């Protein structure tokens, strides 16, 4: 288990925000039957969670900046540190009463992500990582899966939804992955997908159209668990791209090859 002062600050902030989300999720389940629907309520829950995170982190590290899903970029006096915050990853699941969503917080120092926390609020699973110190799930060290044959593997993905680009291109990717693996899963929370790669539940994962708050903490976890993370072209800087590919060494390479084949088929 990581017991640094930084991790204590991050976990405390996440747990404060989680209390509100857990309460609000119970209310969303009741709102499913209302005529108005839960959309406005969920937006409020999202903002309340972000406010709780920001207040707790600012109290502990008042000079750090923020990159937040709801409130955007907030510059801090300390230009070398920024928090990347997704207060509710899996909003659509939350909206529909599906108990699969999380809070994700990462710390960037000098353009490098050095710490991450992902908390599955309903399952009470806490994923944590610090650069060079490994990663843990509820005090148990995480390692990526050891499978080497992609025919035995389960891959995870994020499917482009309404308003997203390149649906035909994605479908070519998906069809090729389906032909070469034992299964594909789409759960609807990118941060948890990456955390599940890090702890070996998934063998690999890919998605496009993500932001830093979606992937910063999870990408660190995969790497600290012995895995590989890149964009769809194999480049390391996933912040500079809008795609991510993650897995152990063999699965990461296999998935990159499959995506390359899909691109060639569309050329």
Q: Which residues are annotated as a binding site?
A: 69, 86, 88-89, 214
Closest residue by Cα to residue 255 from 194, 189, 174: 174
Q: CB within 8 A of 267, min separation 6: which ones?
A: none
Distance CA 88, CA 125 (A): 15
* 266, burial (CB in 10 Å: exposed 0-12, middle 13-18, buried 19+): exposed
Closest residue by Cα to residue 157 from 120, 113, 119, 204: 204
Inter-CA distances, 185 with 82, 94, 201, 221, 251, Å:
32, 18, 11, 20, 15
Distance CA 48, CA 37 (A): 19
**Binding-site entries for Mg(2+):** 69, 86, 88-89, 214
Buried b vs exposed e over 112-135: b needs ≥16 C-beta within 10 Å? ebbbbbbbbbbeebbbbbbbebbb
């Amino acid at each position: 288990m990581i017991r640094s002062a930084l991790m204590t600050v991050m976990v405390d902030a996440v747990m404060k925000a989680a209390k509100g989300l857990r309460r609000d999720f119970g209310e969303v389940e009741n709102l499913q039957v209302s005529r108005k629907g839960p959309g406005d309520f969920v937006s409020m829950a999202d903002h309340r969670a972000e406010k709780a995170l920001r207040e707790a982190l600012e109290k502990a590290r008042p000079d750090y900046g923020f990159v937040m899903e709801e409130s955007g970029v907030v510059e801090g006096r300390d230009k070398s540190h920024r928090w990347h915050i997704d207060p509710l990853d899996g909003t659509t699941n939350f909206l529909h009463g599906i108990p699969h969503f999380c809070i994700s917080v990462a710390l960037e120092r000098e353009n490098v992500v050095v710490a991450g926390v992902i908390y599955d609020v309903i399952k009470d699973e806490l994923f944590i990582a610090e650069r060079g110190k490994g990663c843990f799930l509820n005090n148990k060290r995480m390692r990526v899966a050891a499978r080497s044959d992609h025919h035995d593997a389960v891959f995870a993905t994020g499917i482009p939804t309404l308003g997203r680009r390149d649906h035909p291109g994605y479908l070519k990717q998906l069809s090729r992955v389906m032909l070469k693996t034992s299964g594909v899963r789409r759960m609807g929370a990118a941060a948890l997908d990456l955390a599940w790669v890090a702890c070996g539940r998934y063998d690999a994962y890919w998605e496009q159209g993500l932001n830093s708050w979606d992937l910063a903490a999870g990408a660190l976890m995969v790497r600290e668990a012995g895995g590989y993370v890149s964009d769809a072209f194999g480049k390391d800087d996933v912040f500079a791209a809008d795609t991510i590919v993650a897995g152990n060494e063999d699965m990461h390479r296999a998935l990159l090859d499959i995506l390359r084949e899909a691109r060639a088929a569309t050329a």
